[in-house]
């Protein structure tokens, strides 16, 4: 489908021949006049396109829908699971044992590889659906004029040059150059971040403007909130602004999480090390006169012992546990590595509208009758009151404030609606704010409409900047109520005259309005006029002069209270919070001050300023700037990339279509579950089910806990493999038989070690976790504390395992018995080491103490909702019991004896194994004292 024409080609058509030609030209449709646009597409304002013209254009340019991305086949995704460095050596070892005709060993090794692949395939995140969600967001019905007839058609059938009619409630089906507008307002918040509907106009623009300021354009996926309009289709499918976002999303690098990158790097290093050791073993063995077969078996044993094949599934399990914990705290994880990545975040870039704010306009200040009033309450909830000097007031019948509120309530085309116990506004959010503030003064729209029924109205028009309604009072008199911009209302008021009210001056009101605007408030002025009782039709000339000024109402989309607390918590944890929005700089800065994003003066950087900054300059600017306003989607990507270039781990929150590319580019994308678009949800790694910014702080906390538990798991698993590898290496260098066979090593790694390490995934978080700064992004996977553990515990495991083998082999001459006891000694050391590295014993004592106190207070133990936490707390103990049972079967069951070449042990021999493994406690406690993990 040749959609690129819409972006950088000029269409010229010979309507008779139906032949299209393309000339290179970058079209700025907003700068063309109506006649130029219509002529360009050879359309007609009255008749629209003919059916033959539509058919020709559909054949040439395709349907108005986004092309879904190509999906990777299920088999290919499964095969990709084998593309892991840790599995390469195991696959090689399986092939070697296959050639040596060690069928059982080869079968078990390949079985381990297959299990790893299956687990990885099952746990892999679902295929990317962001493009499909974008396509769904554009599927709608629309009214089109073709062959002189208005028709209701699917948006997918639109072609360039089609005439589209818009009315309140419609979703714009394609990018349109508006030709006619009648009080047309469009909510573009999902695309631009603008929290207030935009008043549209068909006049051409004289200069290039940003997306949010193109008043004569309507963009696909946005919503018409008021008025009517007609436009000509100038872009469909991928060429629309929404489609360009989808193209940007396709171009983004699919980043992996820090822990995945570090594990991959560590895996390659481990691969090279053990390939070298395996080669060394073969060379040394052959030099000692041993056979090739014997040395290949030893090399296989080294490979199997050194590779922590239990580590990939263990990491998956730990991340999955983190997913479960986050879900209980309103954060749904779509991709497993996102759990750990969020814990390492150093910067959170947040959209403003609906994320940090309520996405509900709220009147906060009123100026009426020369007095200032403050309004409490947030959003569309009618709970709140009007204060003067911080004192609640009783509004008197003749008070100017009452008239100001009455004007805002009656000069209004919206209404309040309650659904599922939640108040919402049907119509314009600004008008909704005026309805809510009137309700706080015990004024109700239905009651007031009965007393002062509307006779006529003049809808809001952008060229006049006001709305007016005509009402009849019980006495039969007619009253005009007017609301609009401060300039439009004051120019029509009789100021400086008493008129039975407090005299005011225009400059005083203008100064007060400017002060409100500087605080980020959107200010509307209100006025009224008493007219002839015979008047039944309202005209603009009746409003041009003689209005009586009633007051000012200042409103804002306020920040969420929980967002303010969450921002403070993130800052305490050393995480920077930045606001990136399409809204105006003054409004964004005001919200940023309320959120306390920075202790100093907050200066917003606009999209226009960003265009003048080079990428190198931006990398320095982006770290010091907290607020970015009037930002286009491409610029959001640039900001995220600049932060990542500085080494930051970036989390991006958002809910609109315009946030999707940045959500995908960020290290961790966070979408809003309730108010978020499907596009944003599919592009994100995490979805907040409660749309609460505070849930991010909880998710960061869980992410940090996951990383700590991963470190513990690595510190537990690698010493086991290290001890096994040293045992095999020592045996080859000393010229003795192998103390542990490859199959026995696999048992220890995949059964004993894995089962004992899984409880570490359920470790509770330590105190003051959120008072420490984020770890450095370049922090190595194996820190000094982990390396010390690997070296010390590996040496102990080698000493205990090799020592018990040599002692039993020399004293009894039974290699099978010696190997069995060597394995049991290694597992015993693992169990004791687990008890030292985990918080199981301290947590167990704490819970026993809490239970005793609860019983003493007559609470009868723990409540039902804590049963799950109780089960998790005892996970290490349950794991140890399971391993003890499995190890008994390993040496006592005849089938296991035949498979793993083990022999039954006596009680004395069991105690000897336990005694040989017990001293690991001393070394573990010393490491905990001098080289703590956290």
Which residues are annotated as catalytic?
351
Q: How far apart are CA 417 and CA 345, in angstroms?
A: 40
- Provide the 3-class DSSP secondary structure of residue 670: strand
DSSP string, 212-229: GG-TTEE-TT-EEEEEEE
CB 238 within 8 A of CB 192: no
Distance CA 650, CA 643 (A): 7
Cite the DSSP H helix spans in 23-128: 34-40, 51-61, 74-80, 85-99, 103-123
d(CA 90, CA 111): 10
* Neighbour-count burial for 638-652, b at 16+ CB within 10 Å, e otherwise: bbbbbbbebebbbbb
Task: Considering only CA atoms, give the Rg of the chain.
Answer: 36
Token couple for 350: 């947040």
Query: What are the two backbone dihedrals, phi and then psi, of residue 628, each rounded to the nearest 5 degrees?
Result: -125, 120
Q: How far apart are CA 361 and CA 158, in angstroms?
A: 35
CB 749 within 8 A of CB 720: yes
212, 194 contact by CB (below 8 A): yes
3-class DSSP state of 767: coil
d(CA 41, CA 24): 16
- Asked if 837 contacts 715 with a C-beta cutoff of 8 angstroms, the reply is yes
Q: Is the dihedral of CA 777, 778, 781, 785 positive or negative?
A: negative
Residue labelled with tokens 């930051």 = 648
Strand 149-154 and strand 175-187: the pairing is unpaired
Among 934, 891, 527, residue whose Cα is nearest residue 771:
934
CB–CB of 343/705 below 8 Å?
yes
Question: Could you say which DSSP state residue 380 is in?
Answer: T
Pairing of strands 175-187, 198-199: antiparallel
């Amino acid at each position: 489908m040749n959609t690129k024409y819409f972006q950088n080609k000029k269409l010229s058509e010979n309507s008779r021949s139906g032949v299209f030609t393309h000339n290179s030209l970058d079209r700025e449709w907003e700068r063309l006049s109506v006649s130029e646009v219509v002529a360009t597409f050879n359309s007609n304002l009255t008749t629209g396109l003919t059916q033959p013209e539509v058919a020709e254009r559909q054949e040439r340019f395709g349907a108005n829908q986004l092309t879904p991305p190509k999906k990777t086949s299920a088999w290919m995704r499964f095969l990709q699971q084998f593309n892991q460095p840790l599995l390469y050596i195991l696959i090689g070892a399986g092939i070697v044992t296959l050639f040596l005709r060690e069928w059982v060993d080869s079968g078990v090794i390949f079985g381990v590889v297959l299990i790893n692949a299956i687990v990885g395939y099952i746990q892999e995140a679902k295929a990317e659906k962001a493009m499909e969600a974008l396509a769904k967001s554009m599927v709608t019905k629309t009214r089109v004029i073709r062959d002189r007839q208005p028709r209701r058609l699917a948006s997918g059938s639109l072609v360039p040059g089609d005439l589209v009619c818009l009315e309140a409630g419609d979703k714009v089906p394609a990018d349109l150059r508006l030709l006619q507008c009648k009080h047309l307002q469009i909510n573009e918040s999902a695309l631009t971040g603008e929290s207030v509907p935009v008043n549209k106009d068909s006049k051409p623009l004289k200069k290039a403007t940003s997306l949010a300021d193109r008043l004569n354009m309507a963009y696909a996926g946005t919503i018409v909130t008021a008025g009517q309009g007609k436009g000509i289709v100038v872009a469909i499918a991928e060429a629309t602004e929404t489609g360009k976002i989808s193209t940007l999303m396709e171009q983004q690098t699919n980043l992996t999480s820090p822990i995945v990158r570090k594990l991959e790097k560590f895996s390659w290093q481990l691969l090279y090390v053990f390939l070298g050791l395996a080669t060394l073993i073969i060379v040394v063995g052959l030099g000692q006169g041993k056979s090739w077969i014997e040395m290949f078996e030893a090399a296989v044993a080294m490979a199997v012992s050194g590779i922590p094949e239990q580590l990939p599934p263990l990491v998956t399990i730990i991340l999955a546990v983190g997913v479960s914990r986050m879900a209980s705290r309103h954060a749904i994880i779509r991709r497993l590595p996102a759990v750990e990545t969020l814990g390492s975040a150093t910067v959170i870039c947040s959209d403003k509208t609906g994320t940090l704010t309520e996405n509900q306009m709220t009147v906060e200040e009123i100026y009426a009758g020369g007095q200032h009033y403050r309004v409490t309450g947030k959003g569309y909830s009618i709970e709140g009151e009007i204060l003067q000097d911080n004192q609640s007031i009783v509004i008197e019948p003749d008070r100017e404030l009452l008239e100001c509120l009455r004007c805002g309530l009656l000069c209004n085309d919206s209404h309040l609606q309650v659904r599922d116990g939640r108040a919402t506004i049907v119509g314009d959010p600004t008008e909704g704010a005026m309805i809510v503030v009137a309700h706080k003064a015990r004024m109700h729209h239905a009651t007031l409409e009965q007393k002062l029924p509307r006779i006529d109205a003049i809808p809001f028009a952008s060229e006049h900047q006001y709305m007016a309604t005509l009402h009849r009072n019980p006495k039969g008199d007619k009253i005009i109520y007017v609301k609009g911009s401060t300039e439009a209302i004051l120019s029509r008021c009789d100021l400086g005259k008493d008129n039975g009210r407090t005299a005011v001056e225009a400059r005083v009101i203008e100064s007060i309005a400017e002060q409100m605007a500087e605080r980020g408030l959107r200010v509307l002025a209100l006025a009224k006029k008493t007219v002839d009782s015979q008047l039944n039709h309202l005209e603009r000339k009746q409003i041009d002069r003689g209005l009586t000024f009633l007051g000012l109402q200042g409103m804002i989309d306020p920040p969420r209270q929980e967002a303010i607390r969450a921002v403070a918590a993130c800052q305490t944890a050393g995480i920077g919070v930045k606001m990136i929005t399409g809204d105006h700089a003054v409004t964004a800065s005001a919200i940023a001050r309320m959120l306390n994003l920075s202790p100093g003066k907050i200066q917003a950087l606009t999209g226009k300023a960003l265009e003048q900054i080079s990428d190198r300059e931006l990398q320095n600017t982006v770290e010091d700037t907290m607020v970015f306003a009037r930002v286009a989607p491409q610029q959001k990507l640039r900001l995220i990339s600049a932060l990542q270039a500085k080494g930051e781990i970036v989390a991006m929150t958002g809910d609109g279509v315009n946030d999707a590319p940045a959500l995908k580019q960020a290290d961790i994308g966070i979408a809003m579950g309730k108010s978020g678009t499907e596009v944003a949800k599919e592009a994100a790694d995490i979805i907040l089910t409660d749309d609460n910014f505070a849930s991010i702080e909880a998710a960061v906390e869980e992410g940090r806990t996951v990383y700590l538990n991963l470190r513990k798991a690595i510190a537990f698993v690698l010493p086991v493999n290290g001890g096994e590898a040293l045992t095999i290496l020592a045996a080859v260098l000393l010229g003795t038989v192998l103390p542990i066979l490859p199959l026995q090593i696999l048992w220890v790694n995949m059964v004993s070690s894995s089962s004992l390490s899984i409880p570490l995934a359920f470790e509770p978080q330590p105190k003051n976790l959120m008072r420490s700064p984020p770890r450095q992004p370049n922090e190595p996977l194996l820190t000094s504390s982990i390396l010390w553990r690997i070296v010390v515990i590996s040496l102990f495991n080698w000493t205990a395992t090799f020592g018990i083998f040599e002692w039993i082999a020399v004293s009894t001459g039974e290699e099978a018995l010696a190997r069995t006891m060597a394995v049991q000694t290694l597992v015993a050391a693992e169990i004791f080491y687990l008890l030292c590295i985990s918080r199981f014993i301290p947590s167990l004592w704490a819970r026993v103490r809490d239970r005793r106190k609860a019983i003493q207070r007559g609470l009868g133990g723990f409540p039902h909702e804590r049963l799950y936490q109780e089960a998790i707390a005892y996970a290490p103990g349950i794991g140890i019991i399971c391993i003890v049972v499995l190890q008994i079967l390993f040496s006592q069951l005849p089938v296991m004896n035949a498979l793993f070449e083990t022999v039954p042990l006596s009680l004395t021999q069991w105690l000897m194994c336990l005694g040989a493994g017990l001293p690991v406690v001393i070394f573990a406690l010393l490491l905990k004292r001098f080289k703590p993990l956290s």
